[in-house]
Structure 1
Amino acid sequence: MIFTETKLKGCFIIEPKIINDERGYFMESFNEQTFEKGTGERVHFVQDNQSYSSRGVLRGLHYQTGEHAQAKLVRVLNGEVLDVAVDIRPNSETFGQHIAILLSGDNQKQFFIPRGFAHGFLVLSEKANFFYKCDNFYNKESEGGIKYNDSDINIDWQFDVDELIISEKDQQLPNLKIAKKVW
């Protein structure tokens, strides 16, 4: 696997070694030792989640606060999404900055997002299966979120805003300036 740290410290793009032959392909999607060596982080994942969405569905930007904060290792099983992480660590040099990564079933890239980041994704293909590992269990009282179109973050979702499909809950999220604090 190839681990590439992004401009946001602690966020890594992970490219697996894919072995192709006449039968299809094989790849190792996670190996704890390889992950720790590649990221320098010891992360114990405790929960796997999966979602299925159609083109234009935007989920996020979500995070968990305090002792329930979550690191995530995300990937797309099939389809294509624009995956976004926003640094919301209060003392970070890159606070409020984001990174957007194209994840697909074809490129098989994964994205590691440590604790202290808001996360969301937009489905670009007709359908997409999105899979992610979390290092902490979900806790409803600790959930937080930031509105997808916060002008201070200025995410280019590369999609016509009139075609977005966003839950009522996500449409009501606050801007970063007034969002629930991470710590």
Structure 2
Amino acid sequence: MANLPIVQFEKKILETVEQNPVVVIIGETGSGKSTQLSQMLHRKGYTDSGIVAVTQPRRVAAVSVSRRVAQELGVKLGEEDDIEKLVSKLEDKVRSLAEGSCMDAIILPLHGSLPPEMQVRVFNPPPPNCRRFIVATNIAETSLTVDGVVYVIDSGYVKQRQYNPATGMYSLDVVQISK
């Protein structure tokens, strides 16, 4: 966590957010509003059941803030996401099962920002007596055949880049799949 002025107010900010449906925080440039508030809310658990969005009026600022937060959290920019969260939840669930209640499982992510050497792991057959779970974006939708797949579970949603004429900006939105 960075040592920025806003950090000293974390407890008060979180208390205020819990007690109010809308909170406006004002602080000087460089105080940590953009990079620290989202992390405070994440640590408090707000991202367990929803998302925390940080808006920036300029693309350069938005990219800069994203890089800074990813660096501070120790994750690769753009990987934290939804796929990694689901992989983590599945791994926790498999670990929590009673011994002998099911066979071993290997859980593999598959998305476009994953390095190629990690992507090819989904094509390797699982070890004996081991079930393979592949958590994928729509990268696996076309031109890709993974041998041994028995079931496909589709959420019915996709992240899609969309233009908003009101703001004049593009955004990556989760929308229902059309077919």
TM-score (norm 1): 0.27
Question: Over alpha carbons, which structure has the higher Rg?
Answer: 2
Higher helix fraction (1 or 2): 2
More strand by share: 1
Greater RCO (Cα-Cα under 8 Å, separation 6 or more):
1
